Chains A and B, each alone.
Chain A
Amino acid sequence: MSNGFSRREVMAIGGAVASTAAMTPLARARMMPQDMDRDVFAGVVRELRAIVGDEWVFADEASTISYRKSGIPDLRGEHVPSGAVAPANVEQVQAILALANRYRLPLWPISTGKNMGYGMATPASSGQMILDLKRMNRILDFDAELGTILVEPGVTYQQIHDYIEDNDLPYWVDVPTVGPIVSMMGNTLERGVGYTPYGDHFFMQCGMEVVLADGTILKTGMGSIENGNTWQAFKWGYGPYLDGIFTQSNFGIVTKLGMWLMPRPPAYKPFMVRSPNVEDVAAITDTIRPFRMNNLIPNGVLIMGALYQMSMFNRRADLWDGEGVIPLDVIQRHARANDIGMWNTFYALYGTDEIIAAIEPILTTAFEATGADVLTEAEMGGNPYFEHNKTLMRGGMTLEEKGLVRWWGRSGGAVAFAPVAPAKGGETIGQTQLATEIMNKWGFDYAPAYAVGGRELHHIIFLMFDKGDDEHSRKAEQCMEEMITRFGERGWAAYRSSVSTMDLVADQYGAANREVNARIKQALDPNHIIAPGKQGIA
């Protein structure tokens, strides 16, 4: 492991500071909205400045650099924004939408724009202007009796975590593995996951405020009842339930989001199940399922592959400098040296010591019957892999998994594929075999994790590549396409996708789905100004 930037690198960076764009060969030059000529664009930028103030419109090469950064392959410059605009409040969002309708300016909304593995802040097609909602960054409501929170788009999990600690509130916030820098809003709208009992984020969402393309402000559920106080307590409201159509969607701009928080339990005990062989994933899955269904295991369980885990703290060259993908026996050897197995399953118990003592032996017996070791703090305390998941299963803050992005070296690069399947052993074995075959064929290491919900699992596959090398990026792109296609042939589709594969995945969900989405889009946003291409919706 190296300890820092080399002197040469610092010099090189220093020399390039004057022209920020030059120091990041990976970032592409800004691209104009399609069908808009430069003068019109310049006029639009002037009007945007009048709405939000000069300093919150970014429309040149240097100031848009942050918005162009992404870790996924983009060889043909298909996901390059034209600029960004950052409103401070709902009124400014409405004014921007009115302007966008007038000039047909496509807007790509982001909350914190850290959609890592899926394209960060970059849009589904080039030329869109990023609508950066990060300045709307306040916790608007925290009901300490109900454990509910109402947040603006820019509120990060770290901010909520700090708020809870500063005010000594008896709640936990459930986080994705990258909590400190990402938003509750963006994550929940993408239907992201975490690892406490409140890990299915959209399940725990309650009420939202949406600004529609024509400026209408819609409060879902109980939010529009005059003098109402039930907005964050009751999800369903009256009539059709609308919240779902604003997730993974381009039907509106969400400006407020309600969520439920987990009461902090008096006792918490994390477990790790260490399985020695790749095939063990089937038995592990079949063991987890009934306990997730009857809730004896209450949290979002992670079955972590050894290579996924080791990619956090190591670079590829630390493990392997031979030809081709890293052989299984090498992975096994390193795993053993780190006291982990080929699969390591993390679950936790919450409640009182008595409750935990009653459930623990039931689970331990079941997992041991699969040939695994069931380990606790007593055996694993201090082991970085155990500590990592121990932190996550109590909603703690960590960015350790970011380490996997630099698996191949400094340039970084990772794109995610996350197919879902029923939580059955045969499915995990089938998916693991197929992903290994395809990824190894293209020269990529298969570094997996399975996140087990109730009856389903998300297979989290990070395709790690070197974005500094165009040939490698090209292979990553082709490998991803083959995975999506061949998984699709087996009936397995992604729950979410990178901006580069939205049409491909949308097709797998069928023509009727696409058509219904298109009709809703036409009704709500006839000029198609909000995030065209999002989830394959024009």
Chain B
Amino acid sequence: MHPRRGRLLAGLTGATLLSGVGMATGFSMSASAQATYEIEPRAPEYLYARTCGYCHGHNIAPIIRGRALPPAVTAAIVRSGMGAMPAFKPTEITDAELQALAEWLAQSEADPEEHGG
């Protein structure tokens, strides 16, 4: 199933780029060791920064931090994809992750760096 398991990234030496930038040697993390998030849920801040925050608070979609949005509303909007927003499936963000994200969002302070959309 995972034919390359464990053999990657090991024993790298002396490779250089155009300008002679050396690459790290002895790097040996196996990519197949990546746990799926069904086992290791991702934190709300992490999810916000890597998905929501690209649009919300970035001139593309409404600001949603610091607005005490009811968690049930947030969760429903994420699953259905209101308006121009895409829907996010349980395979992209698990129910447990979504609940934690929605609760975190409801409690979150407004971020002065963010701008509306």
- The chain A residues found within 8 Å of chain B, CB to CB, are 1-5, 10, 13-14, 16-17, 20, 23-24, 27, 55-56, 58, 63, 65-67, 69, 71, 84, 86, 89-91, 112-114, 116, 120-121, 132, 134-135, 137-145, 150, 154, 158, 162-163, 167-170, 180-181, 263-267, 312-313, 351-352, 384, 397-400, 402-403, 405-406, 409-413, 468
Partner of B60, one of A132, A150, A168, A399: A399
Interface SS of chain B: loop
Interface contact A13-B60, CB-CB below 8 Å: no
Residues of B within 8 Å of A411, CB to CB, are 83-84
A3 and B63 form a contact (CB under 8 A): yes
Closest to A384 in B: B59
Expressed in whole angstroms, the minimum distance between the Cβ of B110 and any Cβ of chain A is 11
Q: Which residues of A contact B19 (CB under 8 A)?
A: 266-267, 352
Closest to B85 in A: A412
Apart from A134-B89, A142-B31, A411-B83, what 18 extra A-B contacts exist at CB < 8 Å?
A: A1-B116, A4-B62, A13-B76, A16-B76, A17-B75, A20-B80, A24-B82, A66-B80, A134-B91, A138-B31, A138-B36, A142-B8, A144-B12, A181-B86, A384-B59, A402-B86, A412-B83, A412-B85
B38 to chain A, nearest CB (A): 7
In the complex the two chains form, is A65's CB within 8 Å of B69's CB? no
Can you list 10 residue pairs at the A/B interface with Cβ under 8 Å? A1-B117, A2-B116, A89-B1, A142-B31, A144-B15, A169-B27, A181-B92, A400-B58, A403-B59, A468-B83
Q: Which of B13-29 contact A (CB under 8 A)?
A: 15, 17-19, 21, 23-24, 27, 29
A69 cross-chain contacts in B, Cβ below 8 A: 80-81, 86-87
A-facing mask of B54-74, CB < 8 A → 1, else 0? 110011111110010110110
Whole-angstrom distance from the CB of B20 to the nearest CB of chain A? 9
Question: B37 to chain A: which residues have CB within 8 Å?
Answer: 137
| Other-chain contact of A3, B18, B51, B82, B116 (Cβ < 8 Å) | B116
Partner of B5, one of A55, A84, A140, A398: A140
In whole angstroms, how far apart are the Cα atoms of A86 and B15 in the complex?
40
Smallest beta-carbon distance B108→chain A, Å: 13
Residues in B whose Cβ lies below 8 Å from that of A66: 79-81, 87-90
Nearest Cβ in chain A — how far from B113, in angstroms? 15
Residue from A67, A144, A169, A397 with most neighbouring chain B CB atoms (10 Å): A144
Given A10-B69, A352-B18, verify A23-B86 contact (CB < 8 Å).
no
Q: Nearest-CB distance from B77 to chain A (Å)?
A: 7
Question: Interface centre among A3, A120, A141, A145, by most B CB within 10 Å?
Answer: A141
> B70 — nearest CB in chain A belongs to which residue?
A14
Q: Across the interface, do B23 and A170 meet the contact criterion of CB distance under 8 Å?
A: yes
Taken together as a complex, chains A and B put the C-alpha atoms of A114 and B54 apart, in Å, by 15
A139 & B34 in contact (Cβ 8 Å cutoff): yes
Shortest Cβ distance from B86 into A: residue? A114
B9 CB within 8 Å of chain A: yes
Q: B73 — which chain A residues lie within 8 A by C-beta? A: 10, 13-14, 17
Contact A17 B76 (CB under 8 A): yes
- Give every chain A residue within 8 A of B38 (Cβ-Cβ): 135
A207 CA to B1 CA in the complex, in Å?
15
> Is the Cβ of A168 less than 8 Å from the Cβ of B24?
yes
Q: In the complex, which of the residues A4, A17, A24, A163 has the most CB atoms of chain B within 10 Å of its own CB atom?
A: A4
Q: A10-B73, A266-B17, A402-B84 are in contact. Are A144 and B23 (CB under 8 A)?
A: yes
- Report the bound CA distance from A382 to B109 in whole Å: 27
Question: Of A67, A263, A312, which contacts B89 at CB under 8 A?
Answer: A67
- Report chain A residues within 8 Å CB of B18: 263, 265-266, 351-352
In the complex, which residues of chain B have a beta carbon less than 8 angstroms from the beta carbon of A397? Answer: 54
A399→B20 CA distance, assembly (Å): 34
Find B31's partner among A163, A170, A406 (CB 8 Å cutoff): A163
Contacts of A181 in B (CB 8 A): 51, 86, 92
Q: How far is the CB of B45 from chain A (nearest CB, A)?
A: 14
CB distance from B115 to the nearest CB of A (A): 9
Residues B1 and A13 in contact, CB atoms below 8 Å apart: no
A229 CB to closest chain B CB (Å) equals: 8
Point out which of A58, A400, A411 has the most chain B C-beta atoms below 10 A from its C-beta.
Answer: A400
> In this complex, what residue of A is CB-closest to B76?
A17
Name the residue among A86, A143, A413, A468 with the largest chain B CB count within 10 angstroms: A143
Report whether A264 and B58 are in contact in the complex, using a CB–CB cutoff of 8 Å.
no
In the assembled complex, the Cα of A150 lies from the Cα of B4 at a distance in Å of 9
Choose among B23, B54, B55, B64 the residue that contacts A4 (Cβ–Cβ < 8 A): B64
Question: Do the beta carbons of A410 and B83 come within 8 Å of each other?
Answer: yes
Known contacts A134-B92, A142-B8, A351-B18: A27-B80 contact under CB 8 Å: yes
